[in-house]
Structure 1
Amino acid sequence: MNMLLAFSPFIAFVVIERTVGVSAGLAAGALVAAVLLARDFLSSGRHVKILEIGTFLLFGALTLYSFAYGASWSVAAVRLRVDAGLFLIVLASIALRQPFTLQYAREKVAPELWASPHFVRVNYAITSVWACAFAVMVAADLLMAYVSSVPHSVGIFITVIALYAAIKFTERYPQQQRAARQA
């Protein structure tokens, strides 16, 4: 659940962007990301995570750019930037050998399992699935932004399916791997 909470800046962005506008949506995403960072920084037993740092930097930079240059992006163009940024954050976590799901998984398992090759492999797999989901979302955003003949509902449908698949994989894969190891 904590990992899903990490996506709350993106939810805040979508809600506010739809009701108030792009710049306000970006600012809302930055604000929620800052609150998550503060929560982890100030709480004992919690650690600041790569996804939360990256999300704050992403929304913060896009907000500053939007206000400084009066960016008049379409909704699809902003979502493309946000989703591409998220995709890059996830890829960076893999490149840094700290798949972003590892930090959330460590909050749920005993410390003696953290260095287990199996535990680390499971988290690389889950993070890779999220990277694929975000790549699909970027493709859907490109479709919505640059192919006017395709209804936005198609891009939204693709995005929802990609997120749903990643969430279900995240829920089921560790259990399947545990069962397979016990068998």
Structure 2
Amino acid sequence: MKNKFTLILVLFLYINLVNCDYYQSKTIVPHDLPNKVTHLHFYYFDIHTGNNPSAVIVARPNQTNEKNPKKSSLYGTVFAIDNPLREGPEETSNVVGNAQGLYVSSSQSEDVTLTMYVDYAFTSGELNGSSFSVLSRNPVREPTRELAVVGGRGKFRMATSFALIRAHFLNVTTGDGIIEYNVTIFHY
């Protein structure tokens, strides 16, 4: 009985290995594909105030500042965003897409630093349906910041690159801001 079981097990494994297509697939080396470079320029509207804010707090720590209980700290606060991307810095500029994702205030010091996961999706023109994703640290008070682009979809599939950003307008009291983006995307 034991020999029959062993024989059946061996035959079962042999049949599965013979019929397996996974190991027969062709490997494509990404460097064999043509490399493309796309430059983008747009404005990101991060609005925390008004009747229809595009950035809202979804979680905050339940701790107080023991040294100064009246002082409010953003550290640990998580924001969900659905920010419009516009051609220019005016509210009347054409919307070319939206940035959706999360960012968290990740610095304990007075220097506001955000850690961002955001997908920048385009909804018009030749980039309609394409997006790129950022996962990066954003030290808000620096005049120019660099964010890491870690991927994309559509025309930006397999993207790697960087975004140079600067505040066009920033209200430090409300958190409202208009951020200028200059993005260089390497993709296939």
> TM-score surpassing 0.5?
no
Determine which structure has the larger helix proportion and give its number: 1
Name the TM-score class by shorter chain: under 0.3
Larger Rg: 2
Q: Which of the two has greater strand per residue?
A: 2
Q: Of the two structures, which has the highest relative contact order with CA contacts closer than 8 Å and spacing of 6 or more?
A: 2
TM-score, normalised to structure 2's length?
0.27
